[in-house]
Structure 1
Amino acid sequence: MKSTEIYQAKREIINYAKKLTLGMSKPTTNFVMDMLYGLAKGRSPLLAEISRALNEDITLLGTLKRLSRNATNFHDYAKLDQNYLAAVQPQLKDDMLVIVDNSDITKPYGEKLEALGRVHDGSKCVTEKGYLTTNITVATSKTKQPLPLYSHLFSAEETDFISTNVETYRGLNRVDQLFGDKKYTVVMDRGYDANDIINFLMQKQTDFIMRLTDKRWVHYQDKAYKVPELAQRRKGKIAFDSQIKGKDYHLKISHIKVTLPAFKGRAFFMVVVYGYGEKPMKLLTNKVITSKADVLRIVKSYLTRWRIEELFRVQKQEYHLEKIRTLSLNSLQLIHRLITYLLGHHAIKIEAGLSFNEILYRKAQCLRQAVRFKFYRYIRGLAAILKFDVSGIRHFKCIEQRHAPRQLCLAI
């Protein structure tokens, strides 16, 4: 392994850590630097693995205790989030897709974890012990990589917990402030099909595309229909070929102008997509549809939502997020956020198309050459290079050396 490649990989992480900790104390900066480097090299949320990745001169137990203590006592989230958003702000363009979704971190064998609650495990369709996460990302302009904007781990067992919707509103308010005068479209799965969510977005005059549940009623030509009943009246006049999760689909699409009982006088469009699954996929949007191109743009925008699903998979497969075992809820939230912000760094670098990226992709040694989602290659390539680093990052830290105390001498 070339020493220049190792140095460049380390420098990427160190410079990013300094951006995230701008305005923080030196001990906090060094701690975040340790955590990001350990996560990138060890690809594990376990503090023991992060400690091993640092290769410090002191004992492993000493490093582990220091990281555990700092993670438990970390409360500089406001500055950390502010610095991260400043780093991603240049990536935000007009008319971007903002993807919103919840995920879960299951801990079926956890007993002593703080505020451990019950969550729905989407992969197994069962209720299990664990935590929920609210996540909001944008799809980058060129490569459509998911760039996280908001990510928060929480539990219904917390004393200040109100509801999952409130967590979503907090994230959407942050996104609204971040975009400012720029327009964006919120894309949501059917788990967000609720009048409260729609009302929140309508009050902010935000465009949205939302997948409908079969329980919802809509009005069409002054008659009330359940969504599946109205969808069956349209067989799809627009043909569209697409690839979803690596599988090719031949879709048929129709659109219908509808109203909702809770929003009288407000016009919406229901887009019906046949060919993906046994039942047609039903989408609701407040965007105006005047042509075939508008319909296809809405369908393509919703299909981009699968990018956030890939982001969750990367968190759990590449960084093994569900193996996290710290007892403190604050430590859990910090490690989850640092992993998310590390993925934000990767998304920005992938979008930039730097020459160093090609070196990382080659080091990953993946079988397939042509891929759209490059997170896996970037993460594995970065870890493969850092694996050969034996000096750690202590030379990058600003550690003041104390001088030996001087003895007081009195003239006699």
Structure 2
Amino acid sequence: MDANSLLLNRFKMQCNKFSGTITKELGVIKKRLVKEMIFGIQASKDVKLSNISRSLKEDIPLIKTEDRLSRNLASEDLSEQLNKEIMRLASGKIDDTMVIAIDPGDIMKPYAKEMEKLCNIYDGSSGRAARGYHLCQVTAANLAHDRIVPLYCEAYSSEDSTYPGRSEKIIEIVQKVKSNIGSNGTWAIDREGDDIDIIRGFTSEELDFVVRLK
């Protein structure tokens, strides 16, 4: 076995181990889906289903693989279950010396016409209004930045009937993360951090925090 084969096998083992850990409460079909998506995204360095499907190299027509992935992805939103397991894994790794960074962002979809619940967003790159989805990520890091711990990631739409509002959504995510990792660390938020409702959310949760004021 050559060096490339050894690296590929090791990579597959790492993907299988990680996906198995974060999908332990899911059914067989969903476990396979998450495993294939993690491997496919890493192997193809892309999030397009066609390239993910191609990287799986199944002995069936490519369109069949793509259809299966598309169908399983559309059947259920796995965000809550996966975030829950990721926070569980991280819960024992967060201490008071770490910074917990909240990064509200966006996924811009300039060419999409029929995607479900497309909403108005602010494209931070261009500084203009656009169409797409809101995104919020939470990551912990020590001051030397040689230890990064992912905690939470969610894409959502302001067109969803359950959307509570911009500030309320960020506070909701803070509360979810805190319920899993406790009050350790110092929270930091740049974009949108000067919102008084977000500041009140931090103080009501009795968290140490840093925000950027305009």
Alignment-derived partner of residue 307 in structure 1: none
Deviation, 1:141, is 6.4
Query: 1:3-18 alignment to 2 at 5 Å?
Result: 3-18=5-20
Which amino acid is the alignment partner of residue 74 of structure 2? T
Partner SS, residue 211 of structure 2: strand
Q: In 2, are the aligned partners of 1:133 and 1:153 still within 8 Å (CA)?
A: yes
Q: Which residue, out of 123, 130, 133, partners 1:131? A: 133
Q: Residue 82 of structure 2: which of 61, 65, 80 is its match?
A: 80
Structure 2: how far apart are the matches of 1:37 and 1:21?
A: 14
Task: In structure 1, give the amino acid aligned to 2:188.
Answer: V
Output aligned runs, 1:59-208, within 5 Å: 59-140=61-142, 143-180=145-182, 182-189=183-190, 191-208=192-209
Change over 3 Å in CA distance of 1:79–1:104 after alignment to 2? closer
Structure-to-structure mapping, 1:13-412, within 5 angstroms: 13-140=15-142, 143-180=145-182, 182-189=183-190, 191-213=192-214
Gaps of 5+ in 1: 214-412
- Distance in 2 of aligned mates of 1:190 and 1:154: 17
Q: Tell me the residue number matched to 1:339.
A: none
Q: Percent identity?
A: 27
Q: Aligned partners of 1:169, 1:65: CA distance in 2, in Å?
A: 37
1:333-365 CA-partner distances (Å, limit 9, x unpaired): xxxxxxxxxxxxxxxxxxxxxxxxxxxxxxxxx
> Structure 1 pair 95/23, CA: closer, same or farther in 2 (3 Å)?
same
Contact 1:91 1:140 in 2 (8 A): no
Structure 1 stretches of at least 4 aligned residues deviating more than 4 Å after TM superposition: none
Cα shift at 1:142: 5.3
Instruction: Quote the offset at 1:145 in angstroms.
Output: 4.9
How big is each residue's C-alpha offset from its partner over 1:346-400, in whole Å with a ceiling of 9 and x where there is no partner? xxxxxxxxxxxxxxxxxxxxxxxxxxxxxxxxxxxxxxxxxxxxxxxxxxxxxxx
CA contact (8 A) 1:190 1:212 kept: no
- Unaligned 5+ segments in structure 2 are none
Q: Deviation digits for residues 147-194 of structure 1, max 9, x if unmatched?
A: 3212111111122222111211121102211222x5321112152212
The amino acid that maps onto 1:62 is K
Q: Alpha carbons of 1:71 and 1:183: their partners in 2 closer, same or farther (altered >3 Å)? A: same
Structure 1 residue 76 displacement after superposition: 4.2
**Alpha-carbon shift at residue 58 of structure 1 (Å):** 1.1
Judging changes above 3 Å, is the alpha-carbon distance between structure 1 residues 123 and 78 closer, same or farther for their aligned structure 2 residues? closer
1:319 matched to which residue of 2?
A: none
Distance 1:133 1:123 in 2: 14
Q: Distance in 2 between matches of 1:75 and 1:129?
A: 21
Q: How many residues align?
A: 212
Do 1:120 and 1:128's aligned partners in 2 also have CA atoms closer than 8 Å? Answer: yes
Describe the shift of the 1:76–1:134 C-alpha distance in structure 2 as closer, same or farther (beyond 3 A): closer
- Higher RCO (C-alpha 8 Å, min separation 6): 1
Q: Secondary structure at the match of 1:67?
A: helix
Work out whether residues 87 and 177 of structure 2, in 8 Å CA contact, stay in contact via their aligned partners in 1. Answer: no
CA distance, structure 2, for counterparts of residue 80 and residue 156 of structure 1? 22
Over 3 Å counting, the alpha-carbon distance change for 1:153 and 1:76 in structure 2 is closer
Q: Distance in 2 between matches of 1:136 and 1:49?
A: 28
User: Residues 134, 190 of structure 1: CA spacing in aligned structure 2 closer, same or farther, 3 A cutoff?
Assistant: closer
Q: TM-score, normalised by structure 2?
A: 0.91
